[in-house]
Amino acid sequence: MSNSNRILIVDDDPMNCELLEMWLASAGFADVDSVYSGSEALLHVKDSPPDLILLDVRMPEMDGLEVCRRLKADATTLFIPIILITGHNTHQDRLNGLRAGANDFVARSVDEAELLARVNVLLENKRLYDELRATMRERIEFISQISHELRTPLFAIHGLTEMLLDGEVTQPDEVRNYLQTIYDQSGHLSRLVDDLLDLSRFERGAQTLKYETLALGPFLDDTVALMQPLAHARNIELRLLAVPRQLLVSVDEGRLRQVFINLLNNALRYNDEGGWVEIAVQSESNAVQISVRDGGWGIGTLDMPHIFRRFYRGALAQQRKSGAGGAGLGLALASEIIRAHGGTLTAQSEGVAGRGSTFVVTLPRTVT
Ligand code: ADP
């Protein structure tokens, strides 16, 4: 199997490089480069950082220890694991290597199996480390997004309350308008916080579902009835195609309702007046597929890979908000809820306005 990790070999003797390249190639490493001096190595690492470096200690001009020291002193290359190849791997060799910051050492006489085993251990550590760094970055970004989302309604509530307290607004109609905005904005804040708490519980696996056996037909009838007022208000035809009778699923009803309200809400909002939304159910031997299809604005190819990410709002959604704009948490939460049920939530769209989008919820079927 091909291994996509990038490995850099640094050795002034091309024969040594060739041998290592051969071993790595036979173990499936497809991205291996060799350079023949310390200064070339530093340039190469800057241009295309590898996932691991095999570094000969004894080289003319700049030796391996110096290369190692320089890479470990630079915050951008510090995390690339380095295996030093020493002459005899003596106590003094290892000590020098450790002081230069090397992650591991092998003697020039090392055999293929041991070298590959050491390479794999360090690559696995690097993978875990990269994952951790990506998670940290995501968390930091997440905190700044939350702060931004909370700030806008808080700012409005604070500003309007201040104006009311200062007596700047006295006309009863105006006072009422201000109070209404404060009420709406605080409702928005509270929904946002609820969604965030829900999302974090699902992501941590700390949310328990209250499973019950549910007849899908009546459940979808009720959900559609709940959404009809919004459909009427936007002059959109919302229809539910016939659901096979006695189609049962084992689900948390409240949570499943939350998912469909979100999907329908989106289908109705990202749609023009006079449009349509259709729910269809398909049952297979061990799964049920419920699709929510709309003939609305569709999802652009640039947006598609991101729509399930927290706080992600598509380009069109940001430009042409119809009705209250969401915070971009709905689909993230919906997909976590469906995943907790052992199902999947997927999206399809050609990205062409008028051809709309389809969201498909697949749930395990309860066999009767
Ligand atoms: P929100 O609706 O609050 O922006 P969601 O997480 O529910 O957040 O949706 C994320 C994005 O996915 C939306 O901003 C929109 O760009 C896109 N989207 C979701 N559903 C639809 C749909 N039915 N039609 C077109 N775009 C959609």
- 223 CA from centroid of ligand 1 (Å): 19
pLDDT score at 87: 85
pLDDT score at 44: 97
List the one residue out of 241, 231, 243 whose CA is nearest residue 322.
Answer: 231
- Are residues 153 and 95 located together in one domain of the fold? no
- 107 CA from centroid of ligand 1 (Å): 57
**Which residues form the pocket of ligand 1, taking CB atoms under 6 Å from any ligand atom?**
262, 266-267, 270, 294, 296-299, 303, 307, 312-314, 317, 326-332, 357
In this structure, is residue 92 part of a structural domain?
yes
Residue 178 has pLDDT above 70, yes or no: yes
- Are residues 224 and 329 located together in one domain of the fold? yes
**Is 5 strand, coil or helix?**
strand
Atom of ligand 1 nearest to the CA of 327: 3
CATH code for the domain in which residue 184 is found: 1.10.287.130
Which pLDDT tens digit goes with each residue over 37-85?
Answer: 999 999 999 999 999 999 999 999 899 999 999 999 999 999 999 999 9
**Structure tokens that stand for 231 in this block:** 């459909």
DSSP, res 304: G
pLDDT score at 233: 95
- Are residues 67 and 169 located together in one domain of the fold? no
Specify the range with the lowest mean pLDDT, choosing from 18-22, 65-69, 213-217, 326-330. 326-330
What is the distance between the alpha carbons of residues 173 and 193, in angstroms, rounded to a whole number?
30
pLDDT score at 367: 62
- Are residues 245 and 357 located together in one domain of the fold? yes
In this structure, is residue 64 part of a structural domain?
yes
Residue 248 has pLDDT above 80, yes or no: yes
- Are residues 191 and 221 located together in one domain of the fold? no
Which pLDDT tens digit goes with each residue over 2-16?
Answer: 788 999 999 999 999
Residue 323 has pLDDT above 50, yes or no: no
CATH code for the domain in which residue 357 is found: 3.30.565.10
Residue 346, strand partner residues: 360
Atom of ligand 1 nearest to the CA of 332: 6
313 residue type, one letter: R
Q: How far apart are the first and last CA of the chain?
A: 44
- 314 CA from centroid of ligand 1 (Å): 6
Q: Whose CA is nearest to atom 19 of ligand 1?
A: 266
List the one residue out of 351, 270, 360, 285 whose CA is nearest residue 317.
Answer: 270
Residue 334 has pLDDT above 90, yes or no: yes
- Are residues 11 and 72 located together in one domain of the fold? yes
- Are residues 230 and 347 located together in one domain of the fold? yes
- Are residues 197 and 325 located together in one domain of the fold? no
Atom of ligand 1 nearest to the CA of 262: 7
- Are residues 7 and 70 located together in one domain of the fold? yes
pLDDT score at 325: 57
Mutate to test the pocket of ligand 1, among 259, 278, 310, 331 (most ligand atoms within 8 A of CB): 331
- Are residues 340 and 235 located together in one domain of the fold? yes
Q: Whose CA is nearest to atom 23 of ligand 1?
A: 267
pLDDT score at 265: 95
- 265 CA from centroid of ligand 1 (Å): 9
In this structure, is residue 117 part of a structural domain?
no
- 56 CA from centroid of ligand 1 (Å): 54
pLDDT score at 161: 96
pLDDT score at 304: 94
| Cβ-based neighbour number of residue 240 at 10 Å | 16
Within 166-272, residue ranges assigned H as helices are 172-204, 216-233, 253-269
Residue 320 has pLDDT above 80, yes or no: no
Find out whether 349 and 358 touch, Cβ atoms under 8 Å.
Answer: yes
Q: Is 247 exposed, middle or buried (0-12, 13-18, 19+ CB in 10 A)?
A: buried
Residue 240, strand partner residues: 279
Q: Is 32 exposed, middle or buried (0-12, 13-18, 19+ CB in 10 A)?
A: buried
Owning domain of residue 42: 3-110
Query: Mean pLDDT in the chain?
Result: 92
What is the distance between the alpha carbons of residues 328 and 326, in angstroms, rounded to a whole number?
6
Tokens 């949570």 sit at which residue? Answer: 255
**Structure tokens that stand for 308 in this block:** 């399930």
**What's the total number of domains in the chain?**
3
**Is 286 strand, coil or helix?**
coil
Mutate to test the pocket of ligand 1, among 307, 311, 349, 357 (most ligand atoms within 8 A of CB): 307
Which pLDDT tens digit goes with each residue over 267-318?
Answer: 999 999 999 999 999 998 889 999 999 999 999 999 999 999 988 988 877 7
Q: Which run of H or E residues covers position 42? A: helix 38-47
Q: Whose CA is nearest to atom 14 of ligand 1?
A: 313
Whether pTM > 0.85 for this model: the answer is no
Q: Whose CA is nearest to atom 17 of ligand 1?
A: 314
Atom of ligand 1 nearest to the CA of 298: 25
